[in-house]
Structure 1
Amino acid sequence: MKNIHPPVARAILLAALTALTSSVALADNSATVGGTAFVNKGLVGAGRIPANQKDKFGETFGSGSGMAIDQQGWTRDANGYKGTLWLLPDRGYNAVGTVDYRPRLNTLSIEFAPVVPGAAPQVGNEQTGVKATLTDSLLLTDNAGADTTGLDPLDGVRAAAGDMPILPEANGKIALDNEAIARLPDGTMFISDEYGPNIYRFSAEGRLMSATQPPAAMVPMRKGTANFASNNPGSGAAAPEPKNPETGRQNNQGLEGMALTPDGKTLIAVLQSAARQDGGDAPSTRQNTRALVYDATDPSQLKLAHEYIVPLPVFTDAKGKTTVAAQSEIVALTDKTFLMLSRDSGNGQGLKGDTSLYRSIDIVDVSAATDIAGTDFDKDKSAAPKGVVDASIKPATLTPFIDMNGGADLARFGLHNGAPNDKDNLSEKWEAMSLASVLDPKLPDDYFLFVANDNDFLTQDGYQVGAAYKAEDGADVDTMFLVYQVTLPGLTTHASQ
């Protein structure tokens, strides 16, 4: 080997060390699934909507239970990115039982100025990278144009009619607890809910067009009859008997996650945690939930194509017990893979518990999983008795990807997980996700992953259903956005919204 001048040698060594550090960092922030490497480049933006924001109807704006970004209108210029985002609230403020909140969809204009991955924002602007401005609010109505409601359907069942299956009903209105949205290019949208748990299709004007009921194994049953109550009775109403379903989805654990694949041909929906008969009757055994994969080539008539058992993450709680993290949202990458956000509960800003023990976005792969669609597991046979998966079933695989509680990533944006339990501590419920392209020809596989919280309408200046309110214990929780830059090889431009 030829002699190398010492300064040159030092430069070569420094370059080699830099390359090594970069490769280690990449390895630490990447996940390989099916031979494909997915990379998390970290948090690149954050933003807030004030807790006391009012919507078009003068009611508290509130939660982000579902989110969709307009892919066709997403643009980039020298100042950053602009676009339209739809944010779906759930059933309204219900600290003491549910209320007659009219389900709706909010439209936001978004301006986004990301920082370079790994860089720190300008001091004083840590949480202003995402600027969201409310531009419209749309009420969701039934197929006759009548109001729907967020009230708990304690004993209400609307009879099947035409192409509509039986539906949850309260005070003569279809009851909706909306959790996820997938928007099509024509403006129609799929919305999943907790109560059914059903998948609804609404027109661009917000009118119900169709409803898809899941397999019988997921329909909540009490005393041998479909009963859609969630044990959140409104004022003066009695609790259901029994309080929990005997089979089917657990109370408040419906189709929490739902998304269209980028080509718009497949719709995937996932129960928040295991069905009652699959171990969902206990927090420690509710790990094995179900993913429903629908053929959506004809949006007017979804067809169940596949169904898989998906293992939810487990973690050790503050008392040393193994606990299951329920999933809160998904983003479909292909008809075989999807991102899944799972979290613990009871901890975060606005609550007495301050430190989240699990809040993560993982990658689910069903490529080698057993397809149970149309089998006895869709009827009266348990897929995971007492939480143990039936020997004939191979579950999907779960690969860790983004730790949302990562301290260094949050700290760059003035945020944290845990004490002090102030406005910069992440709130409990992160339930909405959507992708938007980085629009960089040099980074064709890079996307911004927007994540938003469900703040449960917690504010000290609230107004809903004709009355002002203040959340308990002084809670005042903003609606927030976190944005990660991720590399997701193989995705095409989203045909859907």
Structure 2
Amino acid sequence: MRITNTILAAAPIAFTLFNAVAAAPPAYEAAKSSTSTSRSTSHSTSHSTSHSTSHSTSHSTSKSSSRSLTKTTKSSSRSSSTPTAKTSSKSSTLVTSVSSSSSVPATTSVATSASTVVSSSTSSVAPTSTSSAVSTATSSATSSTTIPIPSPTTVVNSTTCGGQTYVYEELAGYGFIASDARDKLGDTIGGIGSSIALDGSSWQQLANGSYTGQLYAIPDRGWNTQGTVNYQNRVHKIHITLTLDESATVDSPSAPNLQMEYVDTILFTDPAGTPVTGLDADVRGPYLTFPSIPFDLPSVHFQGDGFGKDGPGGQRVVMDGEGLFLGHDGSFWVSDEYGPYIYHFSATGSMIGAIRPPDAIIPLRNSSESFSADSPPIYDPSLAPIPADNPTGRDNNQGFEGLTTNPDGTRLYVLLQSATNQDGGPSNKNSRNSRFLIYDITTPQPTYLSEYVVSLARTVSSDSSSKIARQSEIHYVSDTQFMVLARDSGEGRGQGSDATTSVYRHVDIFDISAATDIKGATADCSTCSIATSKGVLNSTITAAQYCPWLDFNVNSQLNRFGVHNGGADDAGLLNEKWESMALLPVNPGSNDKEFFLLSLSDNDFITQNGYLNSGAFQYSDASGYDLLNQALVFRVRLPSGSTPLVS
């Protein structure tokens, strides 16, 4: 499926290109000057207790010392430094500079492409280029082939869940987009790791062995570290090129080998054509209604321009997009945190439908609907709700983080980031019992089919008081098994020098085949709970089987691409928030179940050179950081009988 239609408010058409293949890895310039580098290749793993004894996990040690998995403590991990990096011999011919304000040093390379675009995003207006920027991004994909790619001889680990085996073979790639890169409206490209989806028809292998395809990525609600702003929700189209570097080792790391090039943007509007905004919802209604949708939508009355300056004000539907699916008809399904709702947009970005979840998930304050997530606008911090935590419904900023569908596009699945507040949600350590809902989307008004409980892992499995690894994305593998991206928080790039080591950053598996379907009057009313306030699940309910699997934080893999978990708070440190997944076939057109698992990070639009509101609103994040839009590519093998979503 390819999507080409775009509706934009009158804005200058200007394209910015970014190339992560030819750019130096984040710590390259600092590392290459060292004659010796201390390396700590740690593997910090936390496993939760499975609900079934049929789950097993095994780790295989590589024949190469560069891939050995050695456990380490938090303190020893932080003492490691990033290894030097080599320049990949397979780098793309299209070369552009990274932003001059990025913490990554810009590199100069000679391109052999006939149409090379070098761009910078440091000016106060949207950077411009000719249409060759787009043609260059797609011309290399005209010659496709299939070159058998041998599987690695060793693996990082494997997990068996419900009799199905999942294998993490190796880390296969890394790339990034600069923190102050800008889209065609002149706005900062940030938060694109909130959710991604591959245009499966575009994915192909080229004659030189590289892979290319079109990726769609949604930012969430815009820059909001100092208050929410009137950012118009959107989806970006990004051209990706992956060039494998099988020679990458810890001692001789690869340069970034995943190229990401911005192509286009589609803006989202409500059914009446008004922009959808990232501002926090009003504390109480009345909320907006539309003839085509049989319930009200979370919305906000805002002042001025919604950025703290003069303007007409108004009322808009609010959305904090966290999940994305590309419909077979070219439309977009987006799950949200505010409602939490699920929205259906046309290929041109116009809202054509919505799903409201059961009442048990709708947030209430003072016995009334209250869609505010306690995220006041930048122009008036006093607009915080009372009480801050809604007693029932989804917790603040813990809505439908996960969305996926089956390959036919007939079933839609959503998972709350953590438990509802009546099920233990306000306290992190009690919030493990999340709700997983299934809808039939074959008709204009989707049908609610079933609901299950997914008990999420603890960041330290042996400690019942440890925090929950709340989930950030799900992905369909079969009718009963799903991948789930679960992670800790507060650890990673931008969190400070004393908070660089993540202990749980996983893609895990859950299986609903033996779980209890809780859909019904006893679970779905506004006062219904399925667990105690301490997070103890009702004894009559069997949760999905949960199986830990792929650990992002294996430094013996990360260091092969010049990045790391723990240690110095530098540009090579992994970002805190990883919130997206897409599967890319290793052998396109085959049925061998070997995939590249792509994940992008959400950088929260954190930059010192930020622009929003079509470039009219300039900001510099108070943290002082510039966070790259980082991406990791894992090579995995899924069960032989699985039918995973490739989009």
TM-score, scaled relative to structure 2 = 0.70
Question: Map of 1:247-286 to 2, 5 A cutoff?
Answer: 247-286=392-431
Aligned to 1:13: none
Aligned to 1:82: 212
* Cα displacement (A) at 1:267: 1.1
Aligned to 2:492: 348
Secondary structure of 1:316's match? coil
* Cα displacement (A) at 1:114: 2.4
**Mapped partners of 2:240, 2:153: distance in 1:** 34
Amino acid at match of 2:620: K
Asked if the contact 2:254–2:562 (Cα under 8 Å) also holds between the matched residues in 1, the reply is: no
Among candidates 375, 388, 391, match of residue 536 of structure 2: 388
* Cα displacement (A) at 1:294: 1.3
* Cα displacement (A) at 1:96: 1.4
Q: Deviations over 1:135-180 (max 9, x none)?
A: 1011100011111111001235224644332111012100011111
Among candidates 146, 169, 172, match of residue 41 of structure 1: 169
Among candidates 414, 437, 441, match of residue 296 of structure 1: 441
Aligned to 1:404: 552
**Mapped partners of 2:152, 2:266: distance in 1:** 47
* Cα displacement (A) at 1:265: 2.3
Q: Deviations over 1:437-483 (max 9, x none)?
A: 11267771111111000000011111113221111232111101101
Aligned to 1:8: none
Q: Deviations over 1:210-252 (max 9, x none)?
A: 0101111000011111110000101214111111111000000
Amino acid at match of 1:377: A
Aligned to 2:457: 313
How many residues matched? 474
Secondary structure of 1:239's match? coil
Among candidates 460, 472, 490, match of residue 641 of structure 2: 490
Amino acid at match of 2:260: A
* Cα displacement (A) at 1:491: 3.6
| Distance change (3 Å), C-alpha of 1:66 and 1:169 | same
**Mapped partners of 1:297, 1:161: distance in 2:** 21
**Mapped partners of 1:169, 1:458: distance in 2:** 25
Aligned to 2:184: 56
Aligned to 1:11: none
* Cα displacement (A) at 1:351: 1.6
Q: Deviations over 1:374-398 (max 9, x none)?
A: 2311112210112000011000011
| Distance change (3 Å), C-alpha of 1:204 and 1:443 | closer
Which deviates further from its counterpart, 135-144 or 467-476? Answer: 467-476
Secondary structure of 1:432's match? coil
- Give yes or no for the alignment of 1:185 onto 2:328: yes
Aligned to 2:626: 476
Aligned to 2:597: 449
- Give yes or no for the alignment of 1:336 onto 2:480: yes
Secondary structure of 1:324's match? coil
| Distance change (3 Å), C-alpha of 1:375 and 1:334 | farther
Which deviates further from its counterpart, 439-448 or 146-155? Answer: 439-448
Secondary structure of 2:271's match? coil
Question: Map of 1:114-263 to 2, 5 A cutoff?
Answer: 114-116=244-246, 119-120=248-249, 125-127=254-256, 129-155=257-283, 156=285, 157-159=287-289, 161-171=291-301, 172-234=315-377, 235-236=379-380, 237-263=382-408
Aligned to 2:140: none
**Mapped partners of 2:556, 2:248: distance in 1:** 11
* Cα displacement (A) at 1:24: 11
- Give yes or no for the alignment of 1:377 onto 2:530: no
| Distance change (3 Å), C-alpha of 1:431 and 1:271 | same
Secondary structure of 1:430's match? coil
Which deviates further from its counterpart, 276-285 or 436-445? Answer: 436-445
Asked if the contact 2:253–2:559 (Cα under 8 Å) also holds between the matched residues in 1, the reply is: no
**Mapped partners of 2:205, 2:622: distance in 1:** 42
Aligned to 2:617: 467
**Mapped partners of 1:493, 1:472: distance in 2:** 41
**Mapped partners of 2:362, 2:489: distance in 1:** 24
5+ residue gaps, structure 2: 1-61, 69-150, 302-314
Amino acid at match of 2:531: A
Aligned to 1:6: none
**Mapped partners of 1:404, 1:243: distance in 2:** 33
* Cα displacement (A) at 1:132: 0.7
Asked if the contact 1:288–1:309 (Cα under 8 Å) also holds between the matched residues in 2, the reply is: yes
Aligned to 2:17: none
Asked if the contact 1:165–1:212 (Cα under 8 Å) also holds between the matched residues in 2, the reply is: no
* Identity value in percent: 39
**Mapped partners of 2:524, 2:559: distance in 1:** 46
Asked if the contact 1:351–1:475 (Cα under 8 Å) also holds between the matched residues in 2, the reply is: no
Asked if the contact 2:204–2:588 (Cα under 8 Å) also holds between the matched residues in 1, the reply is: no
5+ residue gaps, structure 1: 1-16
Asked if the contact 2:476–2:644 (Cα under 8 Å) also holds between the matched residues in 1, the reply is: no
Among candidates 508, 512, 520, match of residue 366 of structure 1: 512
